[in-house]
Amino acid sequence: MDISRPRISVIIPVYNSAQYIKRCLDTVLNQTLTDIEVILVDDGSKDQSPLICDEYQARDKRIKVIHQKNGGTGFARNNGLKIATGEYISFVDSDDYIKPDMYEKLHEQLVSQKVETCIFGYHKIRDGKFLHTRTNSITGTFRGEEAFTHIFLNALGTEPSCSEDFRILWQSPCLSLYSLDLIKKYNIYFPSKGDFVSFSEDALFNIDYFYYTSSVTVYNDAFYYYCENPNSSTTKYMSDRFIKDVNLHIEQLNRVKNHVKNEELLNKAEERLNRTLLGVTRFNVIHISAFFSYKEGRSFIIDICNNPVLQGVLAVYPWNKNPIKHRIFNFLLAKKCIWPLYILGKLKK
């Protein structure tokens, strides 16, 4: 252990977060584990966020501030990683907040279990009210091949018979503590935004990181408070959402193929990713049904059904092993049954 390094570097991208950033910073700076550094990356904010960042920096020597042109969350996190010096990396979003003992408890796990990475759960908050708590479906410490099968594969998706598509491990980087040395060693960074959906930066970062990590502990307590923004992508439907989901699927496959050379393990990884694509396809149809009339949404669902990547997955994936509710949906996708898909999406709203 290098006593000259802070235990944890906390990277917080900030974009027009004046309404929330003080709450976030107060919970980070008042942690029971005080040996941290906090890197605030102002991503070209147009509100009072830059001033608030500078004010906090003047009050607490643990804070570093970067002001940059707007480049998105991934770009902001990358610039934070460039100047981070801590043993471990934590990502926190500026409109969220954390429990006061989060870093103390998680650091204890990292040290006692002698692992590189710790994964944990979260509480979801909407309009200031508690909505639900999410923890991972597995717990314990995994090393070597077990880390690959239990962490890497489960981060990609689930097996055909599982009741859910992607609910074993939560993918957000905000729900892990990462080894900075591992990130630096393998040059792991977030991709730039543009061709993928917003959360794709998280998924791609984790594919690279979890492939290389050899020791992970899953600590199933919820330390993080995720606050749903009324302007988030989950509260509206963008016309290019599905094609960006497909682009993400293709990029994930490419990265997995680049990493995994064992044919059996590669087949398992591809199967997990195929199920995840079917899951996000269902998510798209449900949202189209929620936000549009049949007349308005019909063309979106037609485009989804006609997508060659999706139809290729449906042709090879063993979706007959899925739970019945998913089998029905996948059958309708394969047969391109537009009206039944719309109605089913309505029922799932």
Q: Letter for the amino acid at 339?
A: W
Q: What's the count of helices (H) and strands (E) in the chain, helices before strands?
A: 14, 10
The pLDDT of residue 201 is: 79
Tell me the domains of the chain and their CATH numbers: 8-233 (3.90.550.10), 236-347 (no CATH)
Binned at pLDDT 50, 70 and 90, residue 233 comes out as: very low
Binned at pLDDT 50, 70 and 90, residue 349 comes out as: low
- Tell me the CA distances in angstroms from 203 to 62, 100, 152, 177, 346, one per residue in order: 29, 27, 11, 15, 28
- DSSP single-letter state for residue 52: H
The pLDDT of residue 2 is: 62
Cα end-to-end distance, the chain, whole Å: 50
Is the Cβ–Cβ distance between 180 and 129 less than 8 Å? no
- Measured over the CA atoms of residue 107, residue 183, residue 44 and residue 71, the dihedral's sign is negative
Each residue of 29-57: pLDDT tens digit?
A: 999 999 999 999 999 999 999 999 999 99
pLDDT for residue 280 is more than 50: yes
The Cα–Cα gap between 344 and 348 comes to 6
The pLDDT of residue 220 is: 84
- Tell me the CA distances in angstroms from 143 to 140, 148, 152, 160, one per residue in order: 10, 8, 11, 25
Using DSSP's 3-state secondary structure scheme, residue 13 falls into: strand
Each residue of 80-124: pLDDT tens digit?
A: 999 999 999 999 999 999 999 999 999 999 999 999 999 999 999
The pLDDT of residue 127 is: 83
- Tell me the CA distances in angstroms from 83 to 39, 49, 74, 170, one per residue in order: 8, 21, 15, 27
The pLDDT of residue 310 is: 98
Give me the mean pLDDT over the 114-138 stretch: 90
Binned at pLDDT 50, 70 and 90, residue 213 comes out as: very high
